[in-house]
């Protein structure tokens, strides 16, 4: 006779527990194998991309070097042009919002203080 104070438990038999544990182990093993396959695939893809981009960079390096050399050669002219724009903005207040919008200083003193040095 079962009384109200005795808890009823429907615990699975030990054979059922062993089957559940074995099933979980198989599932974990399959998941680990899938993780290894996905990780290997990702590593291979990233290696391929690195190799491809490295080759493209080697091809583009001379062009980039030429662009940088041209910029360095024309830097004094660019700075003179910016100074002329700032001087124009000082004499024409309507032009100052355009200077501010493009990140240029409104006064020449601010321009000389923020000029890059080499």
Q: pLDDT tens digits, residue range 12-44?
A: 677 888 899 999 999 999 999 999 999 999 999
- What the block records as the tokens of 35 is 């993780």
Average pLDDT over residues 83-106: 88
Separation of alpha carbons 70 and 50, rounded Å: 29
Give the pLDDT score at 116: 54
Q: Average pLDDT of the chain?
A: 86
Note whether 106 and 100 are within 8 A (CB).
yes
Nearest to 103 by CA among 89, 68, 117: 89
Query: Nearest-5° angle of CA 61, CA 66, CA 68?
Result: 95
The overall pTM is greater than 0.85? no
Checking if the pLDDT of 118 tops 50, the result is no
Separation of alpha carbons 92 and 96, rounded Å: 7
């Amino acid at each position: 006779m079962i009384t109200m104070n005795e808890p009823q438990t429907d615990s699975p038999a030990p054979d059922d527990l062993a089957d559940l544990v074995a099933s979980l182990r198989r599932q974990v093993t399959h998941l680990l194998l899938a993780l290894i396959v996905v990780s290997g695939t990702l590593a291979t893809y990233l290696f391929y991309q690195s190799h491809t981009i490295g080759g493209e960079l080697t091809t583009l390096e001379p062009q980039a070097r030429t662009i940088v050399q041209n910029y360095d050669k024309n830097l004094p002219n660019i700075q003179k042009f910016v100074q002329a724009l700032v001087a124009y903005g000082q004499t024409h207040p309507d032009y100052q919002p355009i200077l501010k919008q493009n990140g240029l200083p409104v006064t020449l003193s601010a321009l000389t203080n923020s000029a890059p040095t080499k």
